[in-house]
Structure 1
C-alpha cells in the first residue's frame, strides 16, 4: 500500500516552511508523495486574503520542482468550509490502495480537541506532528512525531512583509514571488 502524506492549509502564500515540512516528513516516513490540499475556507481561520485560484497557482509554482509533491484541489472544488474528516473519507474512498498520513504543526496539535469529529478522524487516518516555535506536541491523541529543522515563519508574517515591501527572498520560492508581484497580491 502506498503511503501518502497530506499537508492541508490555506497556503496564503505558500513558503519554504511548508516545503521543508513536506520534504522532511516524506523522507522520515518513507512516503511516496505529499499532497498539498489548499482549503477553500478554513474552518478555524478567517477567509484567505487571495482567491482560491491564486492560491492554487502559487502552490503549483512552489511545488513544481519536486516530483514527490502534488497539489490536490478536492477542498477547493467543494467550496465552502471543509473539514478534514470529510476530505479524508472522500480520499480513502477514491484511493483505497493508499494509506494516508495527515501532517500538522504543533499549533494544530494543540487545537485538535476542537477539530470536527476528531475521534472519528483518528480512526481512519494517521497523524504526523512536527514542532513549531512556541508550541508543544503534547496531546492525548496518537501522533507520530517527526523532528524537522525549525523555521519560524508563517504566511501571516509574510503577508505583512509583502505589504510593507520587505524582501521575502529565500523564504518564498522565486516563481511564487514573481507571481505575487505580477498579480499585485498582498498590496504589491
Structure 2
C-alpha cells in the first residue's frame, strides 16, 4: 500500500481535543503514518482568527508535544503565504509541485467546513489535487446530503484503501469520535472566565492564560 500524505487544515483558534482526538482516531481507522496540521492564514469562509498566526502555530506545536511522538507535525506554509485570502486550492497546487503528481494526498476537514465545500474557490480543481477526508461533528448532517450535488456524490468512497491507490479525487466520510467541542465555545469560555482544562491540552491552556488570549 502506498503512502497517503495527509494534511489537517483549519484556523485552530485554538487547537483542542476535538481536533486532536479525531485526527488520532483517523490514524488508527485507516492506517495513516502521520498527520500534518496546516493552519490557515486568512480563511475565506469564516470569521478571522482572534489569535495571531504565530500564536496559533505555537499552540499547535504545544499540543503536538503532548501526543504520541511522531504522529503529528505542523506546516506553516499558509501562515508564511501573503495571499489574501488563503485559497486552499493554491496551497495544494504548491504541494503538488513539492511532492509530485503521483503521491496520494489527503486534506482533513470537519463536517462544518464540508457543508460549504461546493462554494469553495475552485473546489473542483482542489479535488483533482487531493482527497477530502471529512471528520464527523456533533449536530451536523451526514455526508449523504451531498448526493444532491452529483459531482460530489460521484466521488464518495466508503473504502479507505481507495485513498491510497490513487493520488486525488475522492471524498471519504470518517466516522471518528464525535466530541462536542468547538474553538468558538472555548474562546467564549475564556472570555467569561470559565475553565477549559478538559477541552484542550494543558500546555495550550497555560499558553492561553499566559498570553491572555480571548479576553
Structure 2 partner of 1:74: 77
Give the TM-score, by structure 1 length. 0.94
Tell me how far 1:2 sits from its aligned partner. 2.2
- Please identify the structure whose Cα radius of gyration is greater: 2
> What is the count of residue pairs matched by the alignment?
187
Instruction: Give the alignment partner of residue 126 of structure 1, picking from 131, 134, 138.
Output: 131
Separation in structure 1 between the aligned mates of residue 103 and residue 39 of structure 2, nearest angstrom = 20
Give the TM-score, by structure 2 length. 0.83
- Please provide the CA RMSD for this pair: 1.3
Separation in structure 2 between the aligned mates of residue 68 and residue 18 of structure 1, nearest angstrom = 14
Structure 1 partner of 2:62: 61
Runs of 4+ in 1 over 6 A off after TM superposition: none
Structure 1 partner of 2:211: 183
Q: Write out aligned runs for 1:34-183 (5 A).
A: 34-64=35-65, 65-66=67-68, 67-79=70-82, 80-96=84-100, 98-136=103-141, 137=143, 138-139=145-146, 140=149, 141=152, 142=155, 143-183=171-211
Separation in structure 1 between the aligned mates of residue 106 and residue 62 of structure 2, nearest angstrom = 23
Larger displacement relative to structure 2 (156-165 or 118-127): 118-127
The answer to whether the 8 A contact 1:5-1:26 is kept is no
Tell me how far 1:162 sits from its aligned partner. 0.6
Gaps in structure 2 of 5+ consecutive residues = 156-170
